[in-house]
Structure 1
Amino acid sequence: MRYRTTTLIAATGAAALLAGCSSGTDDEAPPATETSTATATETATETASPSPTEPSGTATTSEPAPPPPDDEAGDAAPAFPTTTDPQTGESDSTSLHLEGVRVSEHDGFDRIVLDFAGEGLPGWDVQYVPAAESQGSGAPIPLEGDAVLQITGIHTMPEDPAAYETEPVVEGDAGAVEQVVYDTLFEGRTVVFAGVDEGAVPFRVFALGEPSRLVVDVLDDDD
């Protein structure tokens, strides 16, 4: 599996704050009886549930599981349709903004992922169009590929329009998707065009949350 990724929003820097530690005095140590009780409890717990990877007396902290990567969408990914008809989906958010576009090649399909910041899931309107034209102005957009797939994320309304200063192009890698071009945010709709090699082929669309993503898989018959 090969990944091609272009990050569309530059991340801002973050300052790190270091806190010093001071040692306590002997009279601040816990009483001997409390230490003995805690040790006995820990020993009993470790005996009941031994850990082959943790040494005796070592405390463990449970970390929240990270969200599944896009290639493990599981049941969220529908089956590929047999047609190339337009597909639409409803949004449950009005505060998402585009952070990046990624393209990756998988077994049997190419995946385009629109990463959004904010809460909720984007809606979508995805369909083949005669040509790539910029929203509002209608200006033609250069795009490689024999067919043009227009990917629109619906109800994406950021508070700061400057967040849409993006790199315009994501290149494919000899799969079904030749090139992906970010167009613009227009009336709450984030538009991206994908140039598909060898004409229109079936595609599937679904959304994932935490973080919010719009996923478009384009069938690759050559795999």
Structure 2
Amino acid sequence: MRTRRSAPVPALLSAMALTLPLAACTGDDGDTPPETVTVTVGPDQGEDDGGQSASPTPSAEPSTPVTQSPAAEPLNEPGADDAPFVANTEPDTNSGSGLVEATNLRFGRHDGYDRLVLDLGGSGEPSWRVEYVGEARGQASGELVVLSGDAVLRMDVQGVMYPGEDGAADYTGPDVIAPPPGGAIREVVVDSVFEGTMEIFVGVAAETPFRAYLLESPTRLILDVQNP
């Protein structure tokens, strides 16, 4: 984020300020407080006077989450089931073991459904639970997560290492996915990794059938959501 800096105070103005009579600072009657003018300068503009005229540099604001606005292209994952869409609206769960690292999250649009692909590294098979919930709330903060859509799918993937933990790779995917209109998925928000669980909220157009399954070589978790 760019920090706005005011123009430097001319040297002539500073010299004039030093030659003002004392009465001009205190007032004729001695009880009028002097007028204070604060001038903000950059960190490199106060060197001549020891930096006393420079105000503190404001702290940097948090960076804006990475947002991906993908095109409406399919994700034809090798090994994915091309059979007719067989799914329902019941929770989809899997019990696995081992530790995995989440590296990327991708979106694709297919004929009749939308697809999310969570790329995973590490060893073993993750556990997951995908289900419709009444509202999206962060697992660590408990704060409400507002996202587009009339229904919310919560995707919890367990056994996920923190980035850098035991050499785990960093997550380089988007924090927010905003798909083009017209499909099942309206918005995706990656909430956090907390106590080994990665939580992803998926805002969808309606409570339509979905399916979640694992593909290997490379390891990736697939979520397909049927169009309304």
TM-score (norm. length: structure 1): 0.62
Assess, with a 3 A threshold, how the Cα gap between structure 1 residues 137 and 151 changes in structure 2: closer, same or farther: same
Of 89, 102, 122 in structure 1, the residue corresponding to residue 94 of structure 2 is 89
Of 213, 216, 220 in structure 2, the residue corresponding to residue 213 of structure 1 is 220
2:125 and 2:84 map into 1 onto residues whose CA distance is 16
Of 166, 176, 182 in structure 1, the residue corresponding to residue 184 of structure 2 is 176
1:166 and 1:203 map into 2 onto residues whose CA distance is 22
1:122 and 1:88 map into 2 onto residues whose CA distance is 10
CA drift at 1:166: 5.7
How many residues of Structure 1 are paired with residues of Structure 2 in the alignment?
A: 154
Residue 203 of structure 1 corresponds to which residue in structure 2?
210
The answer to whether the Cα contact below 8 Å between 2:72 and 2:179 also exists between their aligned partners in 1 is no
Residue 15 of structure 1 corresponds to which residue in structure 2?
none
Residue 73 of structure 2 corresponds to which residue in structure 1?
3
1:4 and 1:92 map into 2 onto residues whose CA distance is 30
CA drift at 1:121: 2.6
The answer to whether the Cα contact below 8 Å between 1:4 and 1:102 also exists between their aligned partners in 2 is no
Q: Percent identity?
A: 37
Residue 127 of structure 1 corresponds to which residue in structure 2?
131
Residue 202 of structure 2 corresponds to which residue in structure 1?
194
| Letter matched to residue 190 of structure 1 | M
Structure number with higher helix proportion: 1
Question: 1:101-144: per-residue Cα shift (whole Å, max 9, x none)?
Answer: 11111111100111112233322100011111111210111211
2:106 and 2:90 map into 1 onto residues whose CA distance is 23
1:127 and 1:219 map into 2 onto residues whose CA distance is 14
Report the secondary structure of 1:100's partner residue. strand
Counterpart mapping for 1:52-201 below 5 A: 69-70=76-77, 72-74=79-81, 79-81=85-87, 83-94=88-99, 96-158=100-162, 160=164, 163-164=170-171, 167-174=174-181, 175-197=183-205, 199-201=206-208
Where does the alignment leave 5 or more consecutive residues of structure 2 unmatched? 1-70
Where does the alignment leave 5 or more consecutive residues of structure 1 unmatched? 6-68
- Which has more radius of gyration? 2
CA drift at 1:79: 4.9
1:173 and 1:4 map into 2 onto residues whose CA distance is 13
1:216 and 1:108 map into 2 onto residues whose CA distance is 14
TM-score (norm. length: structure 2): 0.60
| Letter matched to residue 91 of structure 1 | G
CA drift at 1:167: 3.4
